[in-house]
Structure 1
Amino acid sequence: MDKALTDSLERYIMKLQEAAEQLKTPRTNEFRLTKRNLPAIARKSATDFLAYCALVALFRRNIGGLSEPSCVAVIAVPSQWQLKDIHDAATIILKDKKGVKFCLHPTSKHKRGWEIDPAEFLESGEKLIIFTQEGSILHEDFELAATLSDRLAICDIRHLRALAIFRRCGNLTDEQAAVIAEQASERMEAIFRRDQPASRAAMKLLKVAKVPPGDARLLDVTKGFGEASVWAEALKKDLADWRQGKLPWAEVDKGCLLYGPPGTGKTRFAAALAAHCGLHLEATSIPKWQSFKDGDLGDMLKAMYHAFGSAKENAPCLLFLDEFDAIGDRAKFPSRHETYSTTVVNALLECLDGTDGREGVVVLGACNYPERIDPALLRSGRLEKHVRFPLPDATARGEILEYHLPMLAGDAALKEIAARLPGKSGADLERLAREARRIARKENRDVNISDVRSQVQVPPPLDPKTLYRVAIHEAGHALVSYALMVGEIEWVEIYDNVENFATTVDANGGMFMEKPHREFLTRWEAMKMITSDLAGAAAEDLIFGHRANWSTGNKGSDFASATTLAIRMVTEYAFGNSLYFLPGSVDMTSPPTLWEDLALRDEVTEILQEQYQRARDMLDGLKPALLKLADALVKHKRLDARQLEPFWPGSRKVVPPPTRTRNRRQH
């Protein structure tokens, strides 16, 4: 068997010689390959053998171009193989052949420039073979001089099987050979140990491939994360154009700030974004800088400069700065820390737009409270793009669960569970998966879908009385919002938790409305928005004489939204009882501070009470329509824009029959 394979490969090499001799134009003979002892090469080095075979195939494809006297060949080597391994094999093939020069191209451009001088390789006029890592940037002079370019197809299945036979490592199936082909060159000796079955190592690799490590399992950033997904796609396209020279770096987003609730998965999104865009990831955080060594100013600055320096060294790179709001705002630093903190902010500004530039480095900051960040850091040329990072939607929740439970990936039941977990953050879903795995470990088995279901708290069915209250609440929102023309109402729905479940919001019902983009806001428009927020509670108060607590309780509730806007009306928009404007005078993230400001509290209370009463009065005049709409919601559970038209005040349209479709539109 050894002899048959040897003869086959030798015949393969001889064909190269014959092809060169048949060419009509004069050729040099550097690529007339002398006979090699293939079994000896295989026994000596697995990497040499595989690289040798791959190079022979490449030389065969390009024998004409390689035989040209002034050939400059650029050969892209797969990223998992070291250039030195390919060079070693090339010297075996072209041993003692004069007139051929090799160049191992650097994988990246240093901040001081290229650590290679093309002139040293090109001036001699000899044939030049340049080995470059696939995906890396090639020196401009080599691009100009290249007469041919090709990719090295290494680890062909025939070559892997030949190596296994030469080393007495047994047979390999197609699947086993495929997983071996993906491995790094330095692993080949461990896989093809003499007189040991290579299939055993391959089976271990296949097992790992089916349940990849956390860093290898990445989320799909193109869907499920709202505006962040849109930005990710745009960034990828711009970077691709920049790499191809179609777009100058000045046209690419220099930086972006992701902000949103804690636990939404901003850190994991950053890792997936880097992979999606083909960028090196340099991840750190402001607290890490602050805790570097002794934590004094010098140590803090060293950590900061090192992060930016490393990102430039590894460009193109995504520099991810977590907890970015910890940097603070120079206008709000307490006097005892002012010098230290101001110096830090100034140094960060220098890093973001320093004199030496940062081409190839995209800076991505993440935080929960963007209002705590110095405005200078968020201006154009710095973290200029500001993207709200929402709680994951049903699609993203399914992907996050699959990320943590890869053995259940593709299971329709897992996606159904994810859809019924509105309001859950990435951290919540990670904890759920961890608990499911713990159950399986206790029983010494793999995780199944029942383990996941056991950790999900199923909302109890709503009794008819409670369901009717929810319907009154949502009908109140819809009627007042329509009457005040706050926005375009898309649909209204309630959930009985029997046949209808919440998938978009963690609530018993919802009114979904598209609000128009406003370049500016008037006092009346702000008042209308507050009236709309309070209309659900006002409807309950009107019909039942009291309201439930679901208008309050969290930062996204009706009352929270109305209160926040009322505070901004007084402190930022000069829509209160005075005309003063003091930007930044109130910390919106500090409830105790707001509570202690009695004058502000009185003005906000006045606005809220006035708009609550306005909503109640409006609904009192629309009471018949309110009751009809609530009855329709109880019956049909969901009404879209067309089905809502007959319930609007003054409408002459007849209530249409209910639709039979069960398709649910996601928010």
Structure 2
Amino acid sequence: MDKALTDSLERYIVKLQEAAEQLERPRTNEFRLTKRNLPAIARKSTTDFLAYCAMVALFRRNIGALSEPSCVAVIAVPSQWQLKDVHDAANIILKDKKGVKFCLHPTSKHKRGWEIDPAELLESGEKLIVFTQEGSVVHEDFELAATLFDRLAICDIRHLKALSIFRRCGTLTDAQAAVIAEQASERMEAIFRRDQPASRAAMKLLKAAKVGPGDERLLDVTKGFGQASVWAGALKNDLDQWRQGKLAWAEVDKGCLLYGPPGTGKTRFAAALAAHCGLHLEATSIPKWQSYKDGDLGDMLKAMYQAFGSAKQNAPCLLFLDEFDAIGDRAKFPSRHETYSTTVVNALLECLDGTEGREGVVVLGACNYPERIDPALLRSGRLEKHVRFPLPDALARGEILEFHLPSMVGDPALKEIAARLPGKSGADLERLARDARRLARKQNRDVDISDVRSQVQVPPPLDAKTLYRVAIHEAGHALVSHALMVGNIEWVEIYDNVESFATTVDANGGMFIERPARDFLTRWDLMKIITSDLAGAAAEDLIFGHRANWSTGNKGSDFASATTLAIRMVTEYAFGNSLYYLPGSVDMASPPKLWEDLPLRADVTEILQQQYQRAKDMLDGLKPALLKLADALVKHKRLDASQLKQYWPGSRKVALPQPQTRRRRQH
């Protein structure tokens, strides 16, 4: 049976050559193919064999054009294959043939120009074959002179099956050959090791294949992720209409940047989004491009072009670029890296612009620090949509735990635990589930809710003194925010960790306010927001003579928010003691930089001290209202907008519902 298959495959490949021989005799004979020892080529090199077969097929279908005396052929090579491999195969076919030149086209144009001279190659009048990496830009002179453009269809399934037989690697199914065809040329020797079954490597590749649209364990991207969920729903609708021919590709979002805290699950969201929209997922990252092979500029650019080329081949496709802020900003590159980094950014701009078009390819970038990205990459037509990717809410946390604990899907106790884990990222929840599974494995049983509970650190109940301090803090925020009219207060709540638990924020309490969108802001508008941010600490200082550390404990704290806004007031809005405009001059993620700029530090300190004192003075005048509101919070734990009205100075008293009938909203 194997011999019959071998003979059949050999006849097929030889037939490619015979077909060329049977065509009408061309004007020149460089491309009249002589028979080669195919098994010998296969045994010597997998890449030579596959590239050879693809080149034979290409010559056959273009024999007329290639035989013209002044032929200039531009051949696009798939991004996962090296130009050198194809060049070697072309030399095997055209060995000792005079009058033919080859050119391996550079993958990018450097700052100093092209590292190639088309005039020198074109002036001889000889036939010229230019091999270029698919997705890369071709020199304008070759574009003008070309008499033939074609793409090398490498890794045909029949060629892969023949290679497997010739190297005594057994037979392959169509599915196995198809997954091998997607691999980079560098992996072929590992897949087709002599006398080892190639099917074994193929099965490993199939098992490791990316998650498909039919996977039932994908996250639901339409809820639980804030504006990212809204965008996901809109993208799916647009893509559905585009597939039906009702919407032009120009109307679809071509790119989006997700930004937010690390560990929030942006990568898993991308996989689920691709499945939700019926897109092939091509996932990579900027650091992966930087570490490709030797990591020099050529390798970096090759990895970039390969990613975009593969996305175009598999369109409709979602190209996910993680750690996108690692690309940097051309205006901030250190001089020793400027040429390298600027070339990379320029190449990425070319890829995003898509001179050859990238219809069907949606580019999704993800990062933690969007302010570090070159602004040109975020303009219209590139990553034009910017969506903050938040920490998951209670609903999304439940889905993430179910994803990692599929045997517990639908368990209400699991959802209850998820609701009481505010501030936990997707990575945190994955670790929790992993620890729960490990505990169950040690006892040789399936995971259950007790395993999950054992991994959750339950916040201790707050004693009466601490709870009252939290109430004073939140009441201070509420009273100053209402007095300064900085927004609509939706509710204020505190958590005793006995009857009430945090579900939205990882804190002991919170004031939830909706601030109206404003086209412009005055200096006083920004000062009021800072006063509101500092009012909680000022209230504690007023009542207890000192404040606790929860106003300054993390990057999302009251003082962090106030400091960031004060820096922007000075550097971007010229609202400090100087009238200079220096946007982006301060790296917010690098606190030491703030200390180095003494004038900036002085301006920011003055703003914060003034507004802290203003908040304290305001609350001193509202002290009776402050104490009354704090007492109500201790008693009821949560007060909605309508219930807060009686506590605003000058408002009529409104009856509050009894504690036992109060309905708590779950988030």
TM class, shorter-length: 0.5 to 0.7
Q: Matched residue of 1:282: which SS?
A: strand
Residue 560 of structure 1 corresponds to: 560
Offset, 1:666: 5.0
Q: How many Å apart are 1:654 and its aligned residue?
A: 3.3
Q: Which amino acid in 1 is paired with 2:244?
A: Q
Deviations 1:604-639 (A, max 9, x none): 111001000000000000001001100100111000
Match of 1:650 in 2: 650
Corresponding residue of 1:377 = 377
**Could you tell me which residue of structure 1 aligns to residue 82 of structure 2?**
none
1:399 counterpart SS class: helix
What's the counterpart of residue 462 of structure 1? Answer: 462
Give a deviation string over 1:121-172, Cα, whole Å, max 9, x none.
xxxxxxxxxxxxxxxxxxxxxxxxxxxxxxxxxxxxxxxxxxxxxxxxxxxx
In the aligned structure 2, how far is the partner of 1:215 from the partner of 1:328? Answer: 35
Task: Report deviation, 1:658.
Answer: 3.5
How much identity, in percent, do the aligned residues show? 88
Distance 2:249 2:585 in 1: 38
> What is the CA–CA distance in structure 2 between the aligned matches of 1:504 and 1:290, rounded to whole Å?
38
Could you give the per-residue CA deviations for residues 366-391 of structure 1, whole angstroms, max 9, x where no partner exists? 00000000000000000000000000
- Residues 213 and 585 from structure 1, CA distance in 2 versus in 1: closer, same or farther, beyond 3 angstroms? closer
Provide, for residues 3-32 of structure 1, a one-character-per-residue CA deviation record: whole Å limited to 9, x for no partner.
Answer: xxxxxxxxxxxxxxxxxxxxxxxxxxxxxx
Match of 2:221 in 1: 221
Query: Is 1:604 aligned with 2:615?
Result: no
**C-alpha deviation, 1:304, in angstroms:** 0.5
- How far is 1:507 from its partner? 0.4
1:397 counterpart residue number: 397
Structure 1 length as normaliser, TM-score?
0.68
Aligned equivalents of 1:242 and 1:370: distance in 2? Answer: 30
Q: What does 1:189-588 correspond to in 2, within 5 Å?
A: 217-588=217-588
Letter in 1 for 2:621: G
Q: 2-side partners of 1:658 and 1:342: how far apart? A: 65
Matched residues in 1 for 2:523 and 2:175: separation? Answer: 69
Cα-to-partner distance string for 1:15-64 (whole Å, 9 max, x where unaligned): xxxxxxxxxxxxxxxxxxxxxxxxxxxxxxxxxxxxxxxxxxxxxxxxxx
Q: Distance in 2 between matches of 1:327 and 1:661?
A: 55
Residues in 2 aligned to 1:633 and 1:654: alpha-carbon distance in whole angstroms = 15
1:655 to partner: Cα distance: 4.0
- Note closer, same or farther for the CA distance 1:626–1:240 as it changes in structure 2 (3 Å cut): same
Extract unaligned runs of 5+ from structure 1: 1-110, 113-183, 188-211
Per-residue displacement from partner, 1:64-93 (whole Å, max 9, x unpaired)? xxxxxxxxxxxxxxxxxxxxxxxxxxxxxx
Q: What CA distance in whole angstroms lies between the structure 2 residues aligned with 1:638 and 1:602?
A: 39
What is the alpha-carbon distance in structure 2 between the residues aligned to residue 332 and residue 590 of structure 1? 14
**Alpha-carbon deviation of 1:519?**
1.3
The CA deviation at 1:652 is: 2.2
Structure-1 separation of matches of 2:335 and 2:380: 29
Task: Using the TM superposition, give the Cα deviation of residue 553 of structure 1 relative to its aligned residue in structure 2, in angstroms.
Answer: 1.1
2-structure distance, mates of 1:340, 1:560: 35
Do the aligned partners of 2:214 and 2:275 also contact (CA within 8 Å) in 1? Answer: no
Question: Structure 1 186/314 Cα, relative in aligned 2: closer, same or farther at 3 Å?
Answer: closer
Q: Which amino acid aligns with 1:318?
A: L
2:259 is matched by which residue type in structure 1? Y
Deviation at 1:584, TM superposition (A): 2.1
* CA-CA distance at 1:601 after TM superposition: 1.0
Q: Distance in 2 between matches of 1:300 and 1:614?
A: 54
For residues 644 and 220 of structure 1, the distance between their equivalents in structure 2, rounded to whole angstroms, comes to 36
Report the 3-state secondary structure (helix = DSSP H, G, I; strand = E; otherwise coil) of the residue aligned with 2:348. Answer: helix
Structure 2 equivalent of residue 47 of structure 1: none
Letter in 2 for 1:310: S
Q: Distance in 2 between matches of 1:379 and 1:664?
A: 43
How many Å separate the matches in 1 of 2:289 and 2:608? 43
CA distance in 1, matches of 2:654, 2:373: 53
Q: How do residues 20-35 of structure 1 correspond to structure 2 at under 5 angstroms? A: none
State whether residues 534 and 615 of structure 2, in contact with CA within 8 Å, keep that contact through their aligned partners in structure 1. Answer: yes
Q: 1:664 offset after TM fit, Å? A: 3.4
Report how far residue 474 of structure 1 moved: 0.4
Q: Distance in 2 between matches of 1:479 and 1:311?
A: 54
Q: Is the Cα contact below 8 Å between 2:645 and 2:652 reproduced in 1? A: no
Amino acid of the residue matched to residue 531 of structure 2? T
Contact 2:552 2:558 in 1 (8 A): yes
> Are the equivalent residues in 1 in contact too, given 2:213–2:276 (CA < 8 A)?
no
1:186–1:274 Cα change, 3 Å: closer
Note the C-alpha offset of 1:354.
2.4
CA distance in 2, matches of 1:660, 1:376: 57
Gaps spanning 5+ residues in structure 2: where? 1-75, 78-172, 177-211
Inter-CA distance 662–418: structure 2 relative to 1 (3 Å threshold):
farther
Q: Distance in 1 between matches of 2:333 and 2:317?
A: 32
Q: Quick one: which amino acid aligns to residue 497 of structure 1?
A: N
Q: CA deviation at 1:582?
A: 1.5
**Once the 2 structures are TM-superposed, how far is the Cα of residue 429 of structure 1 from its aligned partner?**
0.4
Deviations 1:417-446 (A, max 9, x none): 000000000000011011101101111111
1:213 and 1:229, CA in 2 relative to 1: closer, same or farther beyond 3 A? closer
- Offset, 1:656: 2.8
- Structure 2 distance, partners of 1:407, 1:615, is 52
Instruction: Give TM-score, length-normalised by structure 2.
Output: 0.68
Name the counterpart of 2:89: none
> Aligned equivalents of 1:442 and 1:264: distance in 2?
29
State the Cα distance separating 1:557 from its structure 2 match. Answer: 0.4
- Give the counterpart letter for 1:399 in structure 2: E
Question: Any idea what SS the aligned residue of 1:365 has?
Answer: strand
Secondary structure of 1:587's aligned partner: coil
